[in-house]
């Protein structure tokens, strides 16, 4: 028996016969601005499943602990069950998006160092930015957890910068989430990494290969994601 456990903006999670394993179904829905902008793109779920699978394989191959088990169909994955840590971890290499807005900086300027930001994962509150003190004081994570999360996020950044660079793509910024395995409590990379949650620009032209094409009405989303997948598949 498979029961719907949770439906998010871009994915559904179902139970499986094994309480420690869940089935993820990638939907064709796209949302932006905390769900205020919405559309359905046939083929999006399949593309994000393929892209995310490729990325998690590479990360696992480099020793990053993740929830990923296997891709089981065009739109489905099996993952290990976790308790999600309600912190959205944003990693930035190049100025874009809310960072550009907040500091009045030009998009596209390379940062003097990588920035890791934490946001409290709450749709009702609009994901407010928090620091380590907030995270500890309101009981989201311990000091040790946060150190591990920062270290994993930095390693993920290095590995993905290399992967995308080989595909001629600049990893501008991305958002990741972590969870605690139901079985051991270990912290692992969870959720997804896809063009929904990253900014990816062609290194030469700065053409956008991510959800900003939808947020900003720049180009067709499935065509853009297909282009990204083809470029990733070209990397050996």
Size of the site for ligand ASP (CB under 6 A): 7
Rounded to whole angstroms, the Cα distance separating 141 from 138 reads 8
CB nearer to ligand ASP: give 7 or 233. Answer: 7
Enumerate residues 187-216 that contact ligand ASP by CB under 6 A: 215
Residue 121 binds to ligand TMP (criterion: CB under 6 A): no
Q: Taking a C-beta distance cutoff of 8 angstroms, is the pair 54, 233 a contact?
A: yes
Number of neighbouring beta carbons within 10 Å of residue 89: 22
Among 34, 73, 122, 131, binds ligand ASP (CB under 6 A): 34
For 86, which DSSP code? S
Considering the rule CB under 6 A, would residue 174 count as an interface residue with ligand TMP?
Answer: yes
Which does residue 91 touch among ligand TMP, ligand ASP, none (CB within 5 to 8 A, set by kind)? none
Question: Closer CB to ligand ASP, residue 31 or residue 136?
Answer: 31
Candidate ranges 33-41, 44-52, 140-148, 177-185; the one touching ligand ASP (CB under 6 A): 33-41
Is 32 a binding residue for ligand ASP by CB under 6 A? The answer is: yes
98 binds ligand ASP (CB under 6 A): no
Compute CA 212 distance to the chain's CA centroid, rounded to the nearest angstrom.
14
Nearer to ligand ASP, 9 or 134 (CB): 9
List the single partner that 32 binds among ligand ASP, ligand TMP, none, CB under 5 to 8 Å by kind.
ligand ASP
Determine the Cα–Cα distance for residues 66 and 46; give it in Å rounded to an integer.
Answer: 20
CA 110 to chain centre: 21
Kind and range of the H or E element at 164?
helix 143-166
Is residue 197 within the footprint of ligand TMP (CB under 6 A)?
yes
**Does position 60 bind ligand TMP by CB under 6 A?**
no
The answer to whether 107 and 192 are in contact (CB under 8 A) is no
Vertex 83: Cα angle to 182 and 11 (nearest 5)? 115
CB of 21 to ligand ASP, least distance (A): 26
Q: What are phi and psi for residue 187, nearest 5 degrees?
A: -80, 125
Q: How far is Cα 127 from Cα 113, in angstroms, rounded to an integer?
A: 24
Footprint of ligand ASP (CB under 6 A): 9, 31-35, 215
Residues that bind ligand TMP (CB under 6 A): 90, 96-99, 127, 173-175, 197-199
């Amino acid at each position: 028996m498979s029961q719907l456990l949770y439906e998010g903006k871009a994915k559904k999670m179902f139970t499986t016969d094994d309480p420690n394993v869940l089935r993820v179904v990638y939907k064709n829905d796209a949302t932006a601005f905390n769900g205020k902008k919405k559309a359905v793109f046939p083929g999006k779920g399949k593309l994000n499943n393929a892209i995310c699978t490729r990325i998690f394989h590479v990360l696992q191959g480099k020793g990053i602990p993740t929830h990923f088990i296997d891709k089981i169909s065009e739109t489905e994955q099996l993952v290990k069950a976790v308790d999600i840590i309600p912190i959205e971890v944003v990693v930035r290499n190049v100025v874009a998006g809310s960072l550009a807005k907040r500091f009045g900086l030009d998009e596209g300027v390379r940062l003097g160092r990588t920035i890791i930001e934490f946001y409290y994962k709450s749709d009702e509150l609009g994901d407010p930015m928090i620091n380590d003190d907030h995270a500890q004081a309101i009981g989201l994570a311990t000091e040790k957890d946060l150190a591990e999360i920062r270290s994993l996020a930095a390693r993920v950044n290095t590995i993905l910068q290399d992967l995308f660079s080989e595909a001629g793509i600049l990893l501008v910024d991305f958002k990741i989430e972590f969870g605690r395995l139901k079985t051991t409590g270990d912290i692992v990379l969870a959720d997804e990494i896809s063009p929904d949650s990253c900014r990816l620009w062609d290194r030469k032209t700065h053409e956008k290969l991510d959800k900003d094409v939808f947020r900003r009405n720049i180009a067709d989303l499935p065509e853009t994601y297909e282009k990204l997948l083809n470029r990733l598949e070209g990397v050996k």
